[in-house]
Structure 1
C-alpha cells in the first residue's frame, strides 16, 4: 500500500509468536465492573471479520487469533455493502453479537458517521483493535461516544506479522494518539533517519526500529532491499520501519508519520498526520488526507483532500480559516480539494501516494 510491492518472508514461527504475544497482552473487562483478564478461550468471544485475510492485519489479529482462542469468527466479505454503505455490517453486529473487532480507522469513521447507527445494537462489542493506519484522536472519541465500545490502537507492518506494539485494552492505561508499548518479546529503538544506527534521546523524533520474533526473515528474493532495512544494534537484528516517531515522557510510543510522506515546506518538516488530526476535529469532516505536492517556489506545499460527512456543505475559505486558527503557518494547507471519496486500499488505508501521483500527472500534463 505504500510503494512497489515486495514479498515479506514470514515463517510459521513469526505468526505463532505474534498470535501468542497478542493473547498474552490483551486484558479485557469481560463483564461490567469485573477485573480485566486475558482473552477467554473456548467460545466466549466472537470476532467481527471486517478485514481481508490476505492482509497480515486481518490474517493475524482476526482469523488466526480467533482460531488460537477457540472463538467464533463472523466473516464480512464486503463491509461497505448496504444502502447506505456499511449498513449490512451493522446488521451483522446486531445479529451475531461480536465481542472483538479489529479494524482500520476508516471503518470506525464509517460506523460513527452512519445515518442509521442509532437503530442498531452494538453493545456486545467490548474491544476494538485499531491498526493499519494512524487513528485520529477525534475519530476515536466520536466512535466511543456513539457506540460505548473501547478502541485501543496498535502498530505494525506486514514485515512484523504485523503487530509490533499495542495500547493496553482499557481506558485507564491506554493513551489516545499513541501506539502504546512493544508487545511481549519485542524491542523498539528510535534511531537517526540517515544511518539507522544512532539511538536518539527519549522525546526526540527518529525512525522506529523493531526487533522481535515476529520480524520477517527478509524480502523474498530481494537481498539488496533486505540488507537496506536491517541494522545490528547491541547484538540484535533491528528492522527499520520507515516510520517516524518517538517515546514520550511516560514511555508510550508516538507515531509522527511515514518517512516517505514527510513534506518539506521551505526548510520545515511537515508531517501529514499532524495536519489530518486537526482537520478531523472539524465537525463537517468525515475523512481527511494530506499530501505534499510539488511547488516551484517552496519545493513542496501542503494540500488537503476532504470528504465531508453526508449532507454537509463547506467552502475552501471556511477550511483555510479553520487551519489558520488551529495550526502553525508552515503547516497550513495551501490548497483544499473536496472529494466525494478519498482513495483507500482494499484494507481501508488512505492512499496518499495516489493523491500525490495525480497531482504530478496534472502538473506534467
Structure 2
C-alpha cells in the first residue's frame, strides 16, 4: 500500500535504513519467544489443508463418481504435511461439470444441534435458553434526549444525548417473544398466515421474528429502505393483514395503506423519546404498540403452535438488483442447515460481543446474529447514525455505540469496508512525512510476518491502535458478505484494524450459504470452500468462454445443492422451475455466478452472467470485475460501468470521493470551484478518467475494460434512492434509467 512521501531522498533512505536495522535486531531477540507463543506451524498446517475435494465429474452425460476416492484423499490429508498434498482438480479432459464437497468435519455446536434434534427456529430458541437463561442477550442503547448543537459554520443539527446499553437476558427475550406471538393470535393472526416485518434492525425485530416462529406464522421481510411501490408489492403479493413496523416508518403507511387493502393491523416498535401521532391513517386500521401487543399476549390463553422442519419460516424479498423484488421461500430446515455450517466456519466464543447494524431483513445478518445467540454472545444494536464517535447523531463529547459497547465481532458488506479503507488512506496521506514512513514500514513489516503465520502485537498496539479505536478497539472478527470483497481492501482492513475478515458467498436463494472462508486462510480475494452442509457444482458456460477444463483452474457457472437451498419463489412457479431443480437427492440452485476452483478446493468469484457485456469488437467485459477493481481507486466512492454491444468501449458513472476530488481539482487549477460545480466540469471528468485508466492498468485490467469516459455524480447512491440494494449492490437498470441522458452523452462524445 503506497502512501507517498515528500521527504528528500537521502533523509528517506536514512530513516528507512534505521527502521530496518531496529526491526532486524528486534526480530533476532524476540523470534524464539514468538515461535513458542504463536506456534506458526499450526497456521501453516491449516493453510496447506485441502478444503474441498471432487465427489463426481460429468462428461458427455455420464457421471464419473469419485466418492470412494474422497475418503482416501481425506485420510491422506490428515497425514500429509508436505506441499505434495492432493489437489481438488479434475482429471477428465472432456468434463462438462465438476462437483465439490467440503472436507471439514462438523463442529461442536453443529453436533449439539443434531443431537438435540433442533430442526426449527422455535426449537433453537428453547435450545439456547436452556444453556444461557440469565446471560445478556439483546442490548439497546438508552437515549436521554435530543438536543440542538451549533456547528462551526453556524448551522444547527439535532444530536442524541445517549447513555449506556440496557440488556435483556435470554429468558426475558424468550418470554417477550412468546407473549408477542400470543398477542398476534389475539388480534386475529393464525398459524400459516403471513405477517410482514418492515423495520430497521433493532432488538424488537429479533423478538418479533421469534414470536412469529413460535406460532408457525411465516415472516415476510421487506427492506426498510424500499420505496412505496416495492413495499406495496411485497404486502399485496403475500396477502398480509398485519404489518410490524417502527415509529420512524409509520408515516409511510399514510400513503402505503391506500395501495394495500388487505392490511388491517399496524404494530409499531416505539421510539424512546416520542409518542406516535395516530391521526392521518385510514379508518378501520388498528394501530397498536409493540409493548401493548406483548401485554395482550401475557393474558392470552393461546398456546405456542410449533412449526415442522418443512414449514415456511420466512418469505424474504430479494433486494431486487435486476428488477422487481422476488419473494424467496425459506423453510425452517434451510435456516437450521445454514446455522449449523456457520457454527462450523466461524470461531465465536461466549466472551465475544457483537454489534448488530446490517438489515435483519437480509438472511445473512439474521443468521450471523443467530449464530451469536447459539454461542451465548450478546448482541448490541446500532445504526450508521450513532455507531462511531463522529457519527451524525452523536453529540459532541459523547461516545458512539462502538466505543460504549466495545464489540469483538461484526458483519459488514464490501462497500462499507471500502469506505473504511479509504478513510484510513486519507488519514495517512494527511499526516507528516515521518508518520507516513512509519506507517508504510509497519504495514509492510506486518504483511510479511502475517503471511508466515505470526502476529505483530507491538505494531498492532502502537501503530494501528488509534485506527482500531474507530470501532471501539476490540474488534477481532469481521464477517463480510453480500458481494465480493476486493483483495486490496481485504488485506488493508485485516492489517490496520488487526482483525480477521472471514469472507463468505451465498444468495438469498441458498439461505446466504454456499462457501465460507476458512478462519486460518490468510489469502485474499477468495470466498472459501463449500460449506459442510452443501455441495458446489461448476458447469461449462460456453457463451462466456468458461469451462471446467480450463487451466490452471476449472471455471464455470456455480450451482449450489443441499438443505440450504430454498423451496423457490413465492407465487412464481415458472421462475422457480427455471432456477431450481432436483438431482442426486438434493435441491439445486443455478446462481448465475462464475467461479474458479483452486487446488485446495477454495472458490474465487470471477464473473456474473448478468454482468457480462460483449462489445462491438467481440471482447467480453465483466462489469462487476471492473467495478470491483476501480472501487479501490481513492477518487471513487462508488461506480457503475456501462457497456453497449454496438460500441467499442465502456463508460462509467462515478460517485467521487469529495475530499480527493477537491485535491485533484486543486492540482489542475480548478480549486476555486465547489464539489457540485466540479461534477459538471468536463476538464475534471477527463482528469478522473485518466486516473481511473492508470489505476486500472495497475490492477491489470485490459484496455477495452477501462472506461473511456466518465460522468461524475454528485449525489451519493443510497438504498433510499432505489439505486442500490440494502446490501449496497448496484441496481443497474434503475441507474441506467436515471442517467440515460449522461450515458448517451458520453458515447456521443
Distance 1:275 1:333, change over 3 A: same
1:22 lines up with 2:322 in the alignment: no
Following TM superposition, by how much is the alpha carbon of 1:288 offset from its aligned partner in structure 2, in angstroms?
4.0
Residues 28-47 of structure 1, C-alpha deviations (whole Å, 9 max, x = no match): xxxxxxxxxxx32xx42211
- Structure with bigger gyration radius: 2
Counterpart Cα distance in 1 of 2:582 and 2:549: 19
Distance 1:345 1:83, change over 3 A: farther
Would the aligned equivalents of 1:263 and 1:291 in 2 still touch at CA under 8 Å? no
Would the aligned equivalents of 1:51 and 1:58 in 2 still touch at CA under 8 Å? yes
Higher strand share: 1
Following TM superposition, by how much is the alpha carbon of 1:364 offset from its aligned partner in structure 2, in angstroms?
7.7
Distance 1:165 1:229, change over 3 A: same
Would the aligned equivalents of 1:305 and 1:342 in 2 still touch at CA under 8 Å? no
Q: Secondary structure of the equivalent of 2:644?
A: strand
Counterpart Cα distance in 1 of 2:577 and 2:629: 37
TM-score (norm 1): 0.83
Counterpart Cα distance in 1 of 2:403 and 2:640: 35
Counterpart Cα distance in 2 of 1:307 and 1:100: 30
Of the candidates 405, 412, 415, which is equivalent to residue 96 of structure 1? 405
Of the candidates 416, 427, 444, which is equivalent to residue 107 of structure 1? 416
Aligned to 1:32: none
Gaps of 5+ in 2: 1-318, 428-465, 665-686, 719-723
Of the candidates 53, 59, 74, which is equivalent to residue 380 of structure 2? 74
Counterpart Cα distance in 1 of 2:744 and 2:660: 35
Query: 1:1-365 counterparts in 2 under 5 A?
Result: 1=319, 2-3=321-322, 4-27=324-347, 39-40=348-349, 43-62=350-369, 64-78=370-384, 85=391, 91-114=400-423, 118=467, 120=470, 122-170=472-520, 173-193=521-541, 200-201=548-549, 203-265=553-615, 266-282=617-633, 284-294=634-644, 296-298=646-648, 301-303=650-652, 305-308=654-657, 310-312=659-661, 313-314=663-664, 315-316=687-688, 317-324=690-697, 326-340=700-714, 341-343=716-718, 344-360=724-740
Gaps of 5+ in 1: 28-38
Q: Secondary structure of the equivalent of 2:599?
A: coil
Distance 1:17 1:75, change over 3 A: same
Distance 1:229 1:193, change over 3 A: farther
Following TM superposition, by how much is the alpha carbon of 1:81 offset from its aligned partner in structure 2, in angstroms?
6.6
Following TM superposition, by how much is the alpha carbon of 1:112 offset from its aligned partner in structure 2, in angstroms?
3.2
Residues 217-240 of structure 1, C-alpha deviations (whole Å, 9 max, x = no match): 111111100000124444533200
Higher helix share: 2
CA RMSD, 1 decimal? 3.1
TM-score (norm 2): 0.42
Q: Secondary structure of the equivalent of 2:418?
A: helix
Following TM superposition, by how much is the alpha carbon of 1:8 offset from its aligned partner in structure 2, in angstroms?
0.5
Q: Secondary structure of the equivalent of 2:515?
A: strand
Following TM superposition, by how much is the alpha carbon of 1:321 offset from its aligned partner in structure 2, in angstroms?
4.0
Counterpart Cα distance in 2 of 1:87 and 1:147: 24
Q: Secondary structure of the equivalent of 2:361?
A: coil
Distance 1:204 1:307, change over 3 A: farther
Moved more, 18-27 or 211-220: 18-27
Following TM superposition, by how much is the alpha carbon of 1:357 offset from its aligned partner in structure 2, in angstroms?
2.9
Counterpart Cα distance in 2 of 1:333 and 1:359: 16
Would the aligned equivalents of 2:595 and 2:607 in 1 still touch at CA under 8 Å? yes
Counterpart Cα distance in 2 of 1:354 and 1:120: 34
Counterpart Cα distance in 1 of 2:548 and 2:526: 19
Distance 1:236 1:127, change over 3 A: same
Following TM superposition, by how much is the alpha carbon of 1:146 offset from its aligned partner in structure 2, in angstroms?
2.3
Counterpart Cα distance in 2 of 1:95 and 1:24: 30
Counterpart Cα distance in 1 of 2:368 and 2:336: 11
Following TM superposition, by how much is the alpha carbon of 1:82 offset from its aligned partner in structure 2, in angstroms?
7.0
